Structure 1
Amino acid sequence: MKESGISEELELAKKRCWVVIDRTPRLPLIDSCRSTLLRLAHSELNFLSRCPTRSSTRLSLNIGHLEAIVHILQQPCLTGVSRVCKPIPVSSTDWNGLKTNSCSKGVHVDIVCTLNRQPVWIIVSDRNPRYIPWDKCQKSKGLRLRVEEVLAAARSSMTLKPYSIILFFSNGVGNFVREKLREEFGASEIELEFSVFDFDFSEDLDGEWINVLARSYQDACVLEIKVDDIGDIISSPGCELKGLSVAAVTPRLSEELAERSAGDPFCSLISRMKYCPFEVKNLEYSEMKELLGDVDLINFDTTALIALVSGISNGGTEKLLGTPESELRQRFKGNFEFVIGQVMSEIENPIHVELGGVISGRRGIICESVHSEFMDLVLMCGGPNEKFRANQLLKCLTLVPDSPSQRVMGLPTTRKLALKNKVVFGTGDYWFAPTLTANMAFVRAISQTGMSLFTIEHRPRALTGD
Structure 2
Amino acid sequence: MDADRECENLATLDTIIKETQKRCEAVMDTIESLANLSLSCKRTLTRLVQSELAFLSRLSSTTKSEPSVCLNIGHIESVVHILQQPNISGVSRVCKTIGLQNTTSKHAHVDIVCTFEGNPVWFIVSDRNPKYISWYGQQESPRNKGLRDRIQLLLEVAHNSVALKPFSIIFFFSNGLDRFTLDKFLTEFEPVDLKSKFSNFDFSFSKELEGEWIDILARSYQQALVLEIKVNCPQMDKNQLPFIKPSNTNLTGSFGDLISQITSSNNGNDGKTDVGIINFDTTALVATVSGISNGGTQKLLDTPDGELKARFKGNTEFVINQVLSEIENPIHVDILKAISGRKCVMCESVCAEFKELVLMCGGVNEKLRAEQLIKVVVVVPDCPSGRMMSLPTTRKLGLKNKIVFGTGDYWRAPTLTANMGFVRAVSQTGMSLFTFEHRPRALTGD
- TM-score, L = length of structure 2: 0.90
Q: CA deviation at 1:17?
A: 0.5
**Equivalence for 1:272:** 261
Q: Deviations over 1:89-141 (max 9, x none)?
A: 3214xxxxxxxxx2347321000000111100000000111110111225721
Q: CA deviation at 1:375?
A: 1.0
- Secondary structure of 2:184's aligned partner: helix
Pair 1:296-2:276 in alignment: yes
**Equivalence for 2:33:** 26
Say whether the 8 Å CA contact 2:98–2:107 is kept in structure 1. yes
Pair 1:194-2:195 in alignment: no
1:79 to 89, 114, 124: 89
Write out aligned runs for 1:161-180 (5 A): 161-180=165-184
Q: Distance in 1 between matches of 2:38 and 2:208?
A: 30
Unaligned ranges ≥5, structure 1: 93-101, 236-240, 279-289
Supply the AA of the counterpart residue of 1:446: V
Supply the AA of the counterpart residue of 2:436: I
Q: Distance in 1 between matches of 2:220 and 2:197?
A: 15
**Equivalence for 2:305:** 325
Supply the AA of the counterpart residue of 1:184: E
Q: Distance in 2 between matches of 1:91 and 1:202?
A: 42
Q: Distance in 2 between matches of 1:68 and 1:274?
A: 42
Q: Which moved more, 1:324-333 or 1:374-383?
A: 324-333
Pair 1:55-2:61 in alignment: no
**Equivalence for 2:116:** 115
Q: Distance in 2 between matches of 1:208 and 1:439?
A: 36
**Equivalence for 1:103:** 104
Say whether the 8 Å CA contact 1:132–1:142 is kept in structure 2. yes
**Equivalence for 1:183:** 187
**Equivalence for 1:284:** none
Q: CA deviation at 1:459?
A: 1.1
Structure 1 residues 187 and 247: CA distance shift in structure 2, 3 A:
closer
Structure 1 residues 30 and 66: CA distance shift in structure 2, 3 A:
same
**Equivalence for 1:95:** none
Supply the AA of the counterpart residue of 2:413: A
Q: Distance in 2 between matches of 1:400 and 1:347?
A: 34
Q: Which moved more, 1:297-306 or 1:386-395?
A: 386-395
Unaligned ranges ≥5, structure 2: 1-7
Supply the AA of the counterpart residue of 1:22: D
Q: Deviations over 1:207-264 (max 9, x none)?
A: 9986421000011101111112436xx89xxxxx9x98x68323x64xx45xx44xx1
Q: Distance in 2 between matches of 1:200 and 1:69?
A: 13
What value does the CA root-mean-square deviation take over the aligned residues? 2.6
Say whether the 8 Å CA contact 1:119–1:164 is kept in structure 2. yes
Q: Deviations over 1:307-326 (max 9, x none)?
A: 01100111111111222222
**Equivalence for 1:412:** 392
Structure 1 residues 318 and 31: CA distance shift in structure 2, 3 A:
same
Q: Distance in 1 between matches of 2:33 and 2:144?
A: 34
Q: Distance in 1 between matches of 2:297 and 2:262?
A: 25
Q: CA deviation at 1:162?
A: 0.4
Q: Which moved more, 1:389-398 or 1:58-67?
A: 389-398
Q: CA deviation at 1:39?
A: 0.6
**Percent of paired sites with the same residue:** 56
- Secondary structure of 2:349's aligned partner: helix
Structure 1 residues 72 and 105: CA distance shift in structure 2, 3 A:
same
Say whether the 8 Å CA contact 1:186–1:226 is kept in structure 2. no
Q: Which moved more, 1:148-157 or 1:174-183?
A: 174-183
Structure 1 residues 318 and 208: CA distance shift in structure 2, 3 A:
closer
Say whether the 8 Å CA contact 2:265–2:341 is kept in structure 1. no
Pair 1:70-2:80 in alignment: yes
Say whether the 8 Å CA contact 2:408–2:414 is kept in structure 1. yes
Structure 1 residues 188 and 268: CA distance shift in structure 2, 3 A:
closer
Q: CA deviation at 1:350?
A: 2.0
**Equivalence for 1:132:** 133
Structure 1 residues 291 and 368: CA distance shift in structure 2, 3 A:
farther
Write out aligned runs for 1:337-352 (5 A): 337-352=317-332
Pair 1:5-2:12 in alignment: yes
- TM-score, L = length of structure 1: 0.86
Q: CA deviation at 1:54?
A: 4.2
Q: Distance in 2 between matches of 1:443 and 1:106?
A: 26
Supply the AA of the counterpart residue of 1:224: E
Structure 1 residues 202 and 352: CA distance shift in structure 2, 3 A:
same
**Equivalence for 1:35:** 43
**Equivalence for 1:282:** none
Write out aligned runs for 1:396-411 (5 A): 396-411=376-391
Q: CA deviation at 1:184?
A: 2.5
Q: Distance in 2 between matches of 1:418 and 1:443?
A: 12
Say whether the 8 Å CA contact 1:409–1:426 is kept in structure 2. yes
Q: Distance in 2 between matches of 1:208 and 1:34?
A: 22
Q: Distance in 2 between matches of 1:406 and 1:447?
A: 16
1:152 to 151, 156, 169: 156
Structure 1 residues 39 and 202: CA distance shift in structure 2, 3 A:
closer
Q: Distance in 2 between matches of 1:292 and 1:87?
A: 38
Q: Distance in 1 between matches of 2:234 and 2:147?
A: 24
Say whether the 8 Å CA contact 1:247–1:394 is kept in structure 2. no
**Equivalence for 2:288:** 308
Supply the AA of the counterpart residue of 2:118: R
- Secondary structure of 2:120's aligned partner: strand
**Equivalence for 1:89:** 99
Q: CA deviation at 1:292?
A: 7.3
